[in-house]
Amino acid sequence: MSKKSKDDSSLAHTRWNCKYHIIFCPKYRRKVIFGELRADIGHILRRLCELKDVEIIEAHAMPDHIHMLVRIPPKMSVASFMGYLKGRSAVIIHERHANLKYNYGNRSFWARGYYVSTVGLNQKTIEKYIRNQEAEDRVNDSMTKREYRDPFKK
């Protein structure tokens, strides 16, 4: 067995350290995660993670997607956790923000699917990436200030 790390946790007969970088976004990647909704989504996701004993190491809400670095116990699959997280949070978001029903209908707030990557020795790099993602996006957005014109208007 490998050396015990300070990050390791344990179950009855298991030592574990399962970290994942997860990214998921609202349906049609609409830029709706801002202001009051951003803070509320943060509280909802934190509470749902607590209920499943999932530790949020780092997280950041962008206008059109969520980054999370989490520790998920090995008794729970990433797929079942994400189904729970996205499903329950969508219901709660629609209950608290009834105006979203008109935009998203049928209580589907999140897009299907998500990105997940296991985190090994590069945890610090991923934490820094999540922390600095918004600043990088602002820089990239300011570089692409092309004027778009309607091809159907003269």
Rounded-to-integer distance, Cα 118 and Cα 101, Å: 34
16: β partners = 9
Query: pLDDT digit string (tens) for 74-130?
Result: 999 999 999 999 999 998 988 888 776 655 556 678 899 999 998 876 777 878 888
In percent, the amount of the chain with pLDDT more than 70 equals: 76
Rounded-to-integer distance, Cα 91 and Cα 108, Å: 8
Query: pLDDT digit string (tens) for 35-71?
Result: 778 889 999 999 999 999 999 999 998 888 999 999 9
- Among residues 28, 104, 115, 129, the one annotated as catalytic is 129
User: DSSP letter at 63?
Assistant: S
User: Does the annotation count 129 as an active-site position?
Assistant: yes
Rounded-to-integer distance, Cα 8 and Cα 146, Å: 49
pLDDT for 32 equals 75
Count the residues in the chain. 154
